[in-house]
Amino acid sequence: GAVVSQHPSRVICKSGTSVKIECRSLDFQATTMFWYRQFPKQSLMLMATSNEGSKATYEQGVEKDKFLINHASLTLSTLTVTSAHPEDSSFYICSARGGNTIYFGEGSWLTVV
Amino acid sequence: QKEVEQDPGPLSVPEGAIVSLNCTYSNSAFQYFMWYRQYSRKGPELLMYTYSSGNKEDGRFTAQVDKSSKYISLFIRDSQPSDSATYLCAMSDGSGNTPLVFGKGTRLSVIA
């Protein structure tokens, strides 16, 4: 079946630095990828929709200058958390559309210290 | 009314029980219905995918969609401790680049 890979699975960074998370569709092309964040025991919160070759569409309340999304190819989207702060610590999950179904990556745990 | 309603639980059942998980929705345009399973600290895993109304069975799992009632269900037969997870329903109208609309998830614990 379709597989979406995320990397890194876990990252710890210092406050003020930037962190990049990669999302790859391994056996299908994804013109659209979605980025979510999830706090413990809470539901998925959509952050942005990433479209290949164009600017991402951000959900209300999500700072586009802080969460930079690049979807440069049909198999890769990246999320960069810029000038990270402890409150950005969360579980970040990407997903990619394969046909009429959406497949999720394994998620990336970000801890900002 | 939220677009998708899902009882958050938690739901606790003994091993071997039949589990019924449900979601209701308000948007009649939804045509694609999915159930995801999410283990703690992991990304959601696609469990079942159905289009329009009807039933779909895969091993111990059965997904049902009743579009007339705007109601979907996931049944788990002979539940196992390994089924303990959060189950998310999700749906889509299938158009363009719209994201899935998720329920909030139901936490299930299967007790040995």
What's the pLDDT tens digit per position in B50-97? Answer: 988 889 999 999 999 999 999 999 999 999 999 999 999 999 887 767
Contact present, A15 and A22 (Cβ < 8 Å): no
Instruction: Count how many pairs of residues, chain A against chain B, have C-beta atoms within 8 Å.
Output: 53
Q: Read off the DSSP letter of residue B98.
A: P
pLDDT at B27 over 70: yes
CB atoms under 10 Å from CB of A85, counted, come to: 11
Which chain A residue lies closest to B42 (C-alpha atoms)?
A106
Query: pLDDT tens, A6-52?
Result: 999 999 999 999 999 999 999 888 888 999 999 888 888 999 999 88
How far A100 CA lies from chain B's nearest CA (Å)?
Answer: 6
3-state secondary structure of B82: helix
DSSP assignment of A57-105 equals: EEPTT--TTTEEEEEEETTEEEEEE-S--GGG-EEEEEEEEETTEEEE-
What distance, in Å, lies between the first and last C-alpha atoms of chain A?
37
Contact present, B48 and B74 (Cβ < 8 Å): yes
Percent of the residues in chain B that have a pLDDT greater than 70, as a whole number: 97
